């Protein structure tokens, strides 16, 4: 009775989301500064700050520096005044993005509903994950320890049944904490917090409210909607009225599903040999497999694209019965697709694409088979690459092309965020 099963599971989900708060706001603690302390152990336990090099202001201060009163957006000279031993570090955005991607991957391992709102924070909704992973608090504890153990920095988590309350809860939990607000507690929790903690309340609004003697969210709740609209204008007035009464209909929005992942390389000097094209495909297969694993996805369709010197181009694709996740399998299919193509007129572009993506590590099904073993080998390589960069771990013949492929991707791609 398939139908009954499905109905039943829907009922259970609704039941859980009424019982538990399931919206989490995950926020990395002093993110840039924490990454510096992770990468340079000599800065751990010391007051450091990131930023300052060009604009002369602090981006992020470590908690050790915050004790002295160093804050974000503070001019460096002022920070040095309140904390003379402050160590300044330059912003290394590429590295922070890399760490951020790793954190987002961990969040994605418990739910596909991940809404990244900045480099170091995201909302997730675990309503659909409760049956599989346990109560939201357990999931949050798991995520916090995964981030600490695998990335090496700390995240604070707030859980509530509406987005803005979850964000307020993570603020309260900082640093390195977890705060769960049950559905029944949400309203009183929110109303007890200062107005400035409300998500989206800027300095101007804050000033207007403070002039009226409004300091905590509960004060707003005591004011009529009309008066708030008169004070703050239609949109902001109604918005704050609703927030003060615990109303927030905003859902956690996962980004649109990716339909495919691809990698392409162009050549100024055309390739005339099958072996050369295959070598490019092998490196692309590694790039794609790594991305698939990062997204906990598998693919069913593999396509190749070849452009010739005379600008003619063609594509070939094959859909497989089973899902693939490994570079080895992707490469083997690509090689077969290439077999019937005559490359002797010169290849100017080689592209490899995987599509029909499925969420979930399908390869677990044959974890004891060959591809399971291959996947583990490739996963181990991913880990090393995450730590030391790509060039270090690849079969020697691949290193050159892989670097080229990655550069190309950096140049072309803002396909995803």
By CB under 5 A, name the binding residues for Mg ion: 27-28, 120
Burial (CB < 10 A; 0-12, 13-18, 19+), residue 60, is: buried
Closest approach of Mg ion to the CB of residue 248, in Å: 21
Closest approach of Mg ion to the CB of residue 4, in Å: 45
Closest approach of Mg ion to the CB of residue 155, in Å: 8
Closest approach of Mg ion to the CB of residue 34, in Å: 9
Closest approach of Mg ion to the CB of residue 216, in Å: 23
Nearer to Mg ion, 98 or 278 (CB): 98
Both tokens assigned to 379: 């996963």
Dist CA 71 CA 79 (whole Å)? 8
Closest approach of Mg ion to the CB of residue 51, in Å: 14
Nearer to Mg ion, 33 or 306 (CB): 33
Nearer to Mg ion, 26 or 126 (CB): 26
Q: Which of 36, 64, 115, 121 is catalytic?
A: 121
User: Is 11 a known active-site residue?
Assistant: no
Nearer to Mg ion, 120 or 323 (CB): 120
Nearer to Mg ion, 33 or 327 (CB): 33
Closest approach of Mg ion to the CB of residue 11, in Å: 37
Closest approach of Mg ion to the CB of residue 72, in Å: 10
Nearer to Mg ion, 13 or 171 (CB): 171
**CA dist list (Å): 105 to 153, 218, 253, 285, 327:** 15, 37, 16, 20, 19
Nearer to Mg ion, 48 or 350 (CB): 48
Nearer to Mg ion, 175 or 294 (CB): 175
Dist CA 258 CA 248 (whole Å)? 28
Q: Give a three-class secondary structure readout of the chain.
A: CHHHHHHHHHHHHHHHHHHCCCEEEEEECCHHHHHHHHHCHHHCCCCEEEECCCCCEEEEECHHHHCCCCCCCCEHHHHHHHCCCCEEECCCHHHHHHHHHHHHHHHHCCCCCEEEEECCEEEEECHHHHHHHCCHHHHHHHHHHHHHHHHCCCEEEEEECCHHHHHHHHHHHCCCCEEECCCCCHHHHHHHCEHHHCCCCCHHHHHHHHHCCCCEHHHHHCCCHHHHHHHHCHHHHHHHHHHHCCCCCCCCCCCCCCCEEEEEEEEEEEECCHHHHHHHHHHHHHHHHHHHHHCCEEEEEEEEEEEECCCCEEEEEEEEEEEECCHHHHHHHHHHHHCCCCCCCCEEEEEEEEECCEECCHHHHHCCCHHHHHHHHHHHHHHHHHHHCHHHCCCHHHHHHHHHHHHHHHHHCCCCC
Which residues are the active-site residues?
121
């Amino acid at each position: 009775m398939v139908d009954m099963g499905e109905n039943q599971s829907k009922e259970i989900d609704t039941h859980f989301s009424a019982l538990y708060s399931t919206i989490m706001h995950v926020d990395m603690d002093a993110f840039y500064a924490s990454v510096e302390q992770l990468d340079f152990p000599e800065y751990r336990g010391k007051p450091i700050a990131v930023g300052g090099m060009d604009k002369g202001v602090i981006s992020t201060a470590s908690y050790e520096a915050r004790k002295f009163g160093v804050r974000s957006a503070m001019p460096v000279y002022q920070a040095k005044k309140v904390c003379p031993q402050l160590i300044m570090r330059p912003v290394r955005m590429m590295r922070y993005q890399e760490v951020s991607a790793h954190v987002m991957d961990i969040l994605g391992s418990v739910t596909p509903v991940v809404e990244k709102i900045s480099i170091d924070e995201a909302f997730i909704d675990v309503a659909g994950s409760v049956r599989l992973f346990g109560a939201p608090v357990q999931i949050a504890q798991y995520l916090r320890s995964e981030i600490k153990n695998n990335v090496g920095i700390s995240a604070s988590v707030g859980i509530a049944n509406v987005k803005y309350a979850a964000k307020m809860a993570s603020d309260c939990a900082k640093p390195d904490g977890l705060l769960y607000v049950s559905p029944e507690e949400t309203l009183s929790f929110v109303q007890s917090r200062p107005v400035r903690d409300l998500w989206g309340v800027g300095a101007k609004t804050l000033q207007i409210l403070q002039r009226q003697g409004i300091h905590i969210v509960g004060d707003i709740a005591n004011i009529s909607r009309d008066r708030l609209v008169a004070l703050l204008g239609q949109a902001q007035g109604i918005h704050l009225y609703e927030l003060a009464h615990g109303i927030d209909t905003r859902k956690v929005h996962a980004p649109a599903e990716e339909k495919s992942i691809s990698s392409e390389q162009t050549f100024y000097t055309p390739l005339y040999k099958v072996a050369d094209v295959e070598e490019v495909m092998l490196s692309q297969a590694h790039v794609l497999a790594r991305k698939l694993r990062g997204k906990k996805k598998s693919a069913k369709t593999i396509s190749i694209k070849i452009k010739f010197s005379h600008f003619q181009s063609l594509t070939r694709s094959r859909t497989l019965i089973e899902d693939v996740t490994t570079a080895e399998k992707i490469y083997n299919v690509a090689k077969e697709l290439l077999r019937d193509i005559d490359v002797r007129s010169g290849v100017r572009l080689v592209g490899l694409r995987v599509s029909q993506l499925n969420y979930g590590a399908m390869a677990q099904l044959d974890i004891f088979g060959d591809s399971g073993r291959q996947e583990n080998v490739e996963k181990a390589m991913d880990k090393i690459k995450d730590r030391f960069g790509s060039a270090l771990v690849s079969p020697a013949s691949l290193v050159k092309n892989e670097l080229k492929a990655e550069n190309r991707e950096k140049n072309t791609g803002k396909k995803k965020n």
